[in-house]
Chain A
Amino acid sequence: AQTVTQSQPEMSVQEAETVTLSCTYDTSENNYYLFWYKQPPSRQMILVIRQEAYKQQNATENRFSVNFQKAAKSFSLKISDSQLGDTAMYFCAFSHGSSNTGKLIFGQGTTLQVKP
């Protein structure tokens, strides 16, 4: 069974600095998708960034970028120029590419606090 592991329960960063959140996953598949979701105190789940496993290029979305290491099964999220609004819980998630059901498998989450 696929698993997603986030080994950092909590992290903090000073405003305007850079922080990296770690995620590892386990799968025997070659075709899959990876996601980072943000959950602020409002509880709303917000998609931050996605990565297709067949693409070698790392995805970027403004201040958010990923370091996708397929062989190592690692998918870290880098937040540059951290802002107070980035304070939230961040979840790494995995989706099968072949089953075509779109089911997501989530990690345990990392709580990020951005300090002024």
Chain B
Amino acid sequence: NAGVTQTPKFRILKIGQSMTLQCTQDMNHNYMYWYRQDPGMGLKLIYYSVGAGITDKGEVPNGYNVSRSTTEDFPLRLELAAPSQTSVYFCASSSPPVSASTDTQYFGPGTRLTVL
């Protein structure tokens, strides 16, 4: 299993450009998440999904959009990039969190995005 994969690893955008961060998991997990990590800070939830066709906002959703057409993929779309979106973006997935013994989020390696 590859686990959670993210592409690209690095990207530089100009202000106002758009891009999609890709996330794929091969563990057949229903739950997927997008977090951002600003320098020296903890992760903050952008969007999450509890299954194909179902998405919901997290703590910091402004400026982003998501879709979940398949169980495996959960792309994050940035429209009109701004310098405030400079961050490291992490995708994660998990099985239904029925108990802490199974509630483990598996994280991708992250995408470092710089907006200039």
Task: Give the number of residues in B that approach A within 8 Å (Cβ atoms).
Answer: 29
Q: Which of B20-28, B60-68, B95-103 contacts A (4 or more CB under 8 A)?
A: B95-103
User: How far is it, in angstroms, between the C-alpha of A50 and the C-alpha of B103 when the chains are bound?
Assistant: 9
B33 to chain A, nearest CB (A): 7
B57 to chain A, nearest CB (A): 11
| A45–B90 CB distance below 8 A | yes
User: How far is it, in angstroms, between the C-alpha of A19 and the C-alpha of B55 when the chains are bound?
Assistant: 40
B37 to chain A, nearest CB (A): 8
Q: Which residues of A contact B56 (CB under 8 A)?
A: 101
Chain A interface mostly: loop
User: Contacts A52-B99, A101-B31, A103-B45 given: A109-B104 contact, CB under 8 Å?
Assistant: no
Q: Of A52, A103, A106, which is within 8 A of B100 by CB? A: A52
| A106–B43 CB distance below 8 A | yes
A-B contact pairs, 30 of them (CB 8 A): A4-B42, A9-B40, A33-B100, A42-B109, A43-B88, A43-B110, A45-B92, A50-B100, A50-B104, A51-B100, A91-B42, A95-B97, A95-B103, A100-B96, A100-B98, A101-B31, A101-B48, A101-B56, A102-B33, A102-B48, A103-B33, A103-B45, A103-B58, A104-B45, A106-B35, A107-B42, A108-B41, A109-B40, A109-B41, A109-B42
